[in-house]
Structure 1
Amino acid sequence: MLMDLRERIQGWIAYVIIGLISVPFVLWGVGEYFSGAKNKPVAEVDGLPISQQAFEQAVSQQRQAIIQKLGGSVSAELLQSLNLDQQVLDQMINERVLNVFVHKAGFRAPDVVVADLIRSEPAFKTNGVFDVKKYEAFVAARGATVADFEAGLKQDIVMQTLENAISESTIVTAPELDQIVRLRDQTREIGMVRIDRARVVDSVAAPTDVAIEAYYGAHKTEFIRPERVKLRYIELSPQTLAPLVKVTAAQVEQAYADYVKKQNAQVVRTVRHILISVPKNADGAAIEAAKNKALAARAAIVSGKISFGDEARAISDDPGSKNQGGDLGEVAPGQMVKPFEEAMDGIKVGVISEPVRTEFGWHLIEVTKESHPDIKPLVDVHDKLVAEVQDRQVEKIYYDEGEKLSDQSYEHPDSLIPSAEALGLKVQTSDWLNRDSGTGIAASEKVRQAAFSKEVLEQKLNSNLIELGANHAVVIRVDQHEPATQLPLADVKNQIARTLKQQAIDQALADAAKQIGKAIDSGKEPQVAATAVGATWVVPVWLKRTARDAPIPAEAIQAAFALPPAPEGQLASKALALSDGNEALVVVQAIKDGDPTAISEQDKKALSAEIQQAQAQQTLGVLLKALRDEAKITIHQKAEKTATP
């Protein structure tokens, strides 16, 4: 597979820029930024626009990357919580100010450097010579023009030059390196007092009505039900359109015939071959000589003078199968080049083919085994075939039905009933939804945005056709509307009681940990102090800060390493609430620094490079902040304007 040149020349600076915001994103070519936009730009940096098209494409790309990374199962609420619009726009501004900086600073990538880079790429060569058609096809496959692609390469080279300049300006001294090793490899003897939540629950009284009322009065803004609506809607989907499709017996019979044909084509064969290679530039005599060699080999095998496997090991030019007696293993349809596959399909098991010519040379082919797929009777696959025919029919009528629904809902904007009658569909009703969340069709942000739009909410009109996915669309209108409402105390009393109870338990746990900490500070043994209040003492163990599978939770280890060393004769301790709901008091009994003399020179060099890169990243962060402070940044749409370098 071809590797994108731009990916190969980008170094850490691209990832630093990515790391300066909370959502990862990839660098775009400079050509995308400096090309004019046909519509109003999303933002401008020093007068240079970030086009709406570039912004939307970037947001879409990032959204798809997140969905793919999370296995394709991502809720609309999660995507919305990431606030991708803000993150991506902020990222594009970061990139832009750096682009402007490097151009003003005089960084340039000469055309000859870009040309040499492209011409040296093996993926663009044919027989060792640069092939312009391969290059142009590579660029076109990425949806770019040659000019834009080369502009992006120039920008990447410039950014790499900046990266090198920043990296070379950082120096890691030997004392700094030794100190890092002492801290990195430090071990601490850590014990822990665990105070179980279950021990405290029964000792905490339920909150009084007075306390609940006081909390409600102080936190009224937390108990406001947001503005919400219920919708009436008509849905086009495979499920709603299926009743409109009538599947005939003839269609099912044809589908079964297609199924049988497809199954018969999926024969898996175990194959072996002998290859007599022919160079691409071979003349007629060389081609004929290779064929004669294959014929002679076939005659020897057929006559019984030599086995197929032994002949393959002796003369085959295929290095991948030669030592296995020509065995290619199981070969499924479509795996081999066409002439080879056609010959393989045309011979019976145990029969050696005549010489077969492919781009690689002459082959002798033998099928040693065939595996035919199971063909189920019609009765066993009937329902599945009906569903498949139905789905295909739905695909055919979906566009027309969508056009009809769109037209009908526009012609009758104050009701969905005429549209439903015209299409033979039902008007459905949603559950309550608000601007940020909903179920069913309202799980889609598109639906929620339309529901609270001026036309649908205030003017009480039908929405436009809203595309939700493949063969899936809706038209909505508001059925019921409720403004934001203060929830009465009676509706939230139990919720507040649970909150106050949990807060009281948290406080009781914290007080118990504080009491144990004071006892330890006064000289009591940690185990004695823990036992006195019914807590559990976890015996100390020596741990590194990166310890895994330790008897002490990772969060407690992290807290222990954040503690400063205690004065001589005392123990350092810190209370913390554990993520499992229990309370802990970590106790550090002793500390041993890492030994700089114990690591190899190779490890020191690697660590030095890491420190150097970290310092360079910090330098870039400072540079970005300064550049953003100096730049004139204008944002033309609703988005977070706070810089996040």
Structure 2
Amino acid sequence: MLQALHDKVSGTIAKVLLAVLIFVFSFFGIESYMTGRADTYVAKVGDHEISTQDFRGRFDQYRARAQASMGANFDPQLIDNPMQKRRVLDGMIDEQLILEANDKLGIMIPAQKIQDQIRQTPQFQSDGKFDSATYRAVLGSIRKTPREYDENIRKDLLARELPAQIMQSSFVTDLDIDTYLRLRDEKRSFRYVALDKLTADAPKITDAQAEEFFKQHSADFTNPEKVTIEYVDLDGAKLSVEAKPDEATLKARYEKEKARFVSPEQREASHILVKLPQNADAEAQKKGLQAATEIAKQAKAKPADFAKLAKEKSDDLGSKSAGGDLGWLEKGVTQAAFEAALFGMNKGDISDPVLSPEGYHIIQLRDVRAQKERSFDEVKPDLTKEFVETERDRVFSEAAGKFTDQAIASPSSLEPAAKAVGLTVQKTAPFTRQGGGEGISADPAILKAAFSDAVLVQGNISDPVQLGQNHIVLLRIAENGHIASTPKKLDEVRAQINLILVAQEQTTQAKKRADELYARLEKGESLDKLADELKLKVSEGKDVLRADASLDSKLVADVFALPRPAADKPVPLLVTLANNTYDLAVVTAVTDGDPATANAATRDSVRSELAQGIGYEAAKAFIANLRKEAKIKVAEDRM
């Protein structure tokens, strides 16, 4: 048999086949036949991929912040839309571009700055001070180690550092301030007439006009597409969980996870920092050490005055005002050299200068908390609660498995899936793509699934729709549950069309009258003559500032947008306001603001405001340039 096989693969046909295969593999790469890869990124910045998971996490944070700030006024449709999703993704792309620029420019975040950020986080504080036990408890609740959290903080600070440095590099001259003050405090005087609304009878709309409008805009007059869905709602919070762990089970878990219930040794410390410049040379380090040594000498001479000395001498702005107080610290929280010194001291000691990347620290160890291990009896309630929650997760996981398996096995009905988990199939009222339904049909995720091709066009049961933790829904279009969009008849919308056409005609007439009056004003007729003719009052704005809130903002904005009037020749203006109303106006005088009247505090405030604005625009331009030079690919369909 082997000889026969050899003969077959040694002939001319085999050689031709081999040549074809060599060509294919050399062109496409043999690895494409050995491995399969499906792109799952939402965006790709150079070689870096932003995964769907990372994007979803960031968008969920954005959504949660919006919901918290808007409270009862929160509208999911304002958040869960392509425009807002792209806005969040663009922010992530900008962050990645900045991080890459940081690497090229060698920008780093000092460890001290990361620790300052952590110490100032309210969630990690107890009685207004950083508390390491609280810190570890909070990190444990979000399943992060201190090292992972430090890295998150580092990346967050890095993403802000370069734009901040660009913004801080902007400068403003005294001439810039003078120019700004002249414009800001500029005053303008003008006269104006508010044209009243046309009071003529509403124009008569003929049937022919209505029919022609309906013909041209028939797509605007339709009954919207609607669907009715059947669904099964599997919510882990509502599942019956009978979990009563016995003593042995809890003790076994306690022994296995004992490290969780050990509070490590903590040390209450204060410090004084003598800061060194970045990349300090030997001479700078020598001067810093001399200064730190002198401070350490003073501190050791009068330990009770350490806090006072820290307020006077420390370069650490984060702790200086608190007398250098760093709160309770444990291993793994501070920089390595600082930690080694702190945990090598005795209570009451004051250290010699300790060198770190930030500078020299003089450390005072104020108190020590020994390592403490919580007993089984102390943590038993927590273990019981965790066991119940774990059991609930397990029960939900099993139920979700049965749920989805039955949906796959019986794609034409939700009944088997519902029966598998002891639930019933529910049904919504009809709803449109724009939402507006009640209950589950108001959820954006349900809307997206219901009107997806797989569900609406192909008639399948949806993939599990995630509505929250341990909460999924399967849905399908109910029988006869799809109502296609249908055109309305002219008689149904005739009254609506008449109102539209009347409004259009009135708008046209009002604009025509305003344009005619403005043309006369431009040709030299006086505003007073036009006002007398219209039996209207001429109003006056005397020395009006840009920020004047007593007049219509559109009127004021348009007045300040005009060029300066020549001597004895007012500049005419037609102002378009809301509801088909207009103002005729003439600008009579312009008076510049006087920079000399501004005191030092005002000039400093203006300088800061201008620098911030200039810096912001410079940072925006820098990021725009990074985008221009980068290779960015966005997968809109995965957002």
Give the TM-score normalised by structure 1.
0.58
**Offset at 1:126?**
10
SS at match of 1:574: strand
Q: What's the secondary structure of 1:634's corresponding residue?
A: strand
Q: How does 1:462-473 map to 2 (within 5 A)?
A: 462-463=461-462, 466=465
Q: Does structure 1 residue 195 correspond to structure 2 residue 191?
A: no
Partners of 2:232 and 2:423 within 8 A in 1: no
Q: Deviations over 1:261-300 (max 9, x none)?
A: xxxxxxxxxxxxxxxxxxx9xxxxxxxxxxxxxxxxxxxx
**Aligned residue number for residue 630 of structure 2:** 631
Query: In the alignment, is the contact (CA less than 8 A) between 1:232 and 1:430 conserved in 2?
Result: no
1:630 Cα deviation after fit: 0.7
Give secondary structure in 2 for the equivalent of 1:591: strand
Residues 150 and 461 (structure 1), Cα distance of their counterparts in 2 relative to 1, 3 Å cut: closer
Deviations 1:581-607 (A, max 9, x none): 533334433222211011111110110
In the alignment, the residues of structure 1 paired with residue 426 and residue 126 of structure 2 have an alpha-carbon distance, to the nearest angstrom, of 61
Give the equivalent residue in structure 2 for 1:229. Answer: 227
Would you say 1:554 and 2:553 are equivalent positions? yes
What per-residue deviation string (whole Å, max 9, x for no partner) do you get for residues 447-495 of structure 1? 2222223443234344466565799967442333244545554444443
Which residue identity is paired with 1:567? A
Preserved CA contact (<8 Å) 1:409 1:419:
yes
1:215 aligned residue: 213
Q: Quick one: distance in 1 between partners of 2:94 and 2:230?
A: 44
> What is aligned with 2:571?
572
Match of 1:447 in 2: 446
Q: Distance in 2 between matches of 1:159 and 1:235?
A: 41
Aligned partners of 1:79 and 1:122: how far apart in 2? 28
Partner of 1:150: 150
| Alignment match, 2:502 | 501
C-alpha distance 582-70 of structure 1, shift in aligned 2 (>3 A) = farther
**Distance (Å, rounded) in 1 between the aligned partners of 2:500 and 2:186:** 41
1:430 partner letter: A
Give 1:215 deviation, angstroms. Answer: 3.4
Tell me how far 1:178 sits from its aligned partner.
Answer: 0.8
Q: Distance in 1 between matches of 2:229 and 2:635?
A: 32
Q: State how 1:424-573 maps to structure 2 within 5 Å.
A: 428-434=427-433, 436-440=434-438, 441-463=440-462, 466=465, 475-478=475-478, 479-533=480-534, 535=536, 537-548=538-549, 550=550, 552-573=551-572
Q: Deviations over 1:374-416 (max 9, x none)?
A: xxxxxxxxxxxxxxxxxxxxx9xx9899979878877765356
Q: Identify the residue that residue 613 of structure 1 maps to in structure 2.
A: 612
Counterpart-to-counterpart distance in 1, 2:130 and 2:553: 55
* 8 Å CA contact 2:418, 2:425 repeated in 1: yes
How far, CA to CA, are the matches of 2:217 and 2:108 in structure 1?
58
Q: C-alpha separation between the residues in 2 aligned to 1:78 and 1:130?
A: 38
Q: Is the 8 A contact 1:114 1:150 kept in 2?
A: no
Letter of the structure 1 residue corresponding to residue 203 of structure 2: A
TM-score normalised according to structure 2 size: 0.59
Kept after mapping to 2: 8 A contact 1:42/1:636? yes
Cα distance, 1:537 vs. partner?
Answer: 3.9
Counterpart code for 1:84: Q
CA RMSD of superposed structures (Å): 4.4
What does residue 3 of structure 2 align with? Answer: none
SS of match in other structure, 2:189:
strand
Give secondary structure in 1 for the equivalent of 2:73: coil
Alpha-carbon displacement from aligned partner over 1:539-569 (angstroms, at most 9, x marks no partner): 4343211122x1x222222222222223332
Structure 1 distance, partners of 2:220, 2:131, is 66
Residue matched to 1:3: none
Counterpart contact for 2:190–2:541, Cα < 8 Å: yes
Residue equivalent to 2:583: 584
Alpha-carbon separation, structure 2, partners of 1:91 and 1:432:
34
C-alpha distance in structure 1 between counterparts of 2:225 and 2:450, whole Å: 11
Secondary structure of the 2:179 match is helix
Instruction: Give 3-state SS (helix, strand or coil) of 1:42's partner.
Output: strand
Deviations 1:150-177 (A, max 9, x none): 3344445545653464245433222221
When residues 43 and 514 of structure 1 are mapped into structure 2, their CA distance, relative to the original with a 3 A threshold, is same
Moved more, 554-563 or 98-107: 554-563
Deviation of the 1:55 alpha carbon: 0.9
Contact 1:451 1:457 (8 Å CA) reproduced: yes
Amino acid at match of 2:631: K
Partner AA of 1:505 in structure 2 = Q
Counterpart AA for 2:450: A
| Conserved? CA contact 2:428–2:441, under 8 Å | no
Query: Paired residue for 1:162?
Result: 162
1:89 aligns with 2:114: no
Gapped regions of structure 1 (runs ≥ 5): 1-36, 242-279, 281-394, 641-645
Instruction: Name the % identity.
Output: 25
- Asked if 1 retains the 8 angstrom alpha-carbon contact of 2:411 and 2:461, the reply is yes
Q: Is the 8 A contact 2:459 2:476 kept in 1?
A: no
Q: Distance in 2 between matches of 1:567 and 1:71?
A: 54
The 1-side partners of 2:514 and 2:118 are apart by 68
* Alignment partners' CA distance in 2, 1:41 and 1:521: 60
Determine the C-alpha separation between the residues in 2 that align with 1:119 and 1:413: 51
Kindly tell me: are residues 534 and 483 of structure 1, through their superposed partners in 2, closer, same or farther at Cα, counting changes over 3 Å? farther
> What is the CA distance between 1:98 and its match in structure 2?
1.4
CA distance in 2, matches of 1:231, 1:191: 62
> Contact 1:191/1:539 (CA < 8 Å) preserved in 2?
yes
Deviation (angstroms), 1:181: 0.4
1:118–1:217 distance in 2 versus 1, CA, 3 Å: closer
How far apart in 1 are the matches of 2:472 and 2:40?
31
3-state SS in 1 of match to 2:513: helix
**Equivalent position of 2:386 in the other structure:** none
Alignment-mate amino acid for residue 633 of structure 2: T
Distance in 1 (alpha carbons) for counterparts of 2:147 and 2:423: 53
Count of aligned pairs: 444
Q: Using the alignment, how far apart are the partners of 2:162 and 2:622 within structure 1?
A: 11
The 5 Å alignment of 1:63-212 reads 63-81=63-81, 83-111=83-111, 113-114=112-113, 117=116, 133=133, 135-137=135-137, 139-140=139-140, 144-155=144-155, 158=158, 161-163=161-163, 165-167=165-167, 169-197=169-197, 199-200=198-199, 202-212=200-210
CA distance in 2, matches of 1:566, 1:537: 19
The answer (yes or no) to whether the contact 2:52–2:638 under 8 Å persists in 1 is no
Deviation digits for residues 520-555 of structure 1, max 9, x if unmatched? 33444434423423555444343211122x1x2222
Task: Please tell me the residue identity of whatever aligns with 2:75.
Answer: S
Shift of 1:57: 1.3
- What is the aligned partner in structure 1 of residue 25 from structure 2? none
C-alpha distance in 2, partners of 1:428/1:71? 29
Q: Distance in 2 between matches of 1:615 and 1:605?
A: 15
Q: Any conservation in 1 of the 2:187–2:544 contact (CA below 8 Å)?
A: yes
In structure 2, how many angstroms separate the alpha carbons of the residues matched to 1:135 and 1:145?
A: 10
**1:182 offset after TM fit, Å?**
0.8
Q: Which segments of 5 or more consecutive residues in structure 2 lack a partner in the other structure?
A: 1-36, 239-267, 269-391
Q: Which amino acid aligns with 1:499?
A: I
Structure 1 contact 186–591 (Cα < 8 Å) conserved: yes
- Looking at structure 2, the residues matched to 129 and 234 of structure 1 have their Cα atoms a distance apart, in angstroms, of 49
**Preserved CA contact (<8 Å) 1:39 1:52:** no
Inter-partner Cα distance in structure 1 for 2:396 and 2:128: 50
CA shift in 2, pair 1:474/1:95, >3 Å: same
Provide the C-alpha distance between the structure 2 equivalents of 1:511 and 1:610, rounded to a whole number of angstroms: 43
Aligned mates of 1:193, 1:127 — CA distance in 2: 63
Q: Answer whether contact 1:578 1:584 (CA < 8 A) is retained.
A: yes
The answer as to whether partners of 1:193 and 1:585 remain within 8 angstroms in 2 is yes
Cα distance change of structure 1 residues 232 and 538 upon mapping to structure 2, 3 Å threshold: farther
Distance 1:505 1:438, change over 3 A: same
Q: Which is further off, 528-537 or 127-136?
A: 127-136
Partners of 1:426 and 1:129 in 2: CA distance: 53
Amino acid at match of 1:511: K
State the AA in 1 paired with 2:510: L
Equivalent in the alignment of 1:643: none
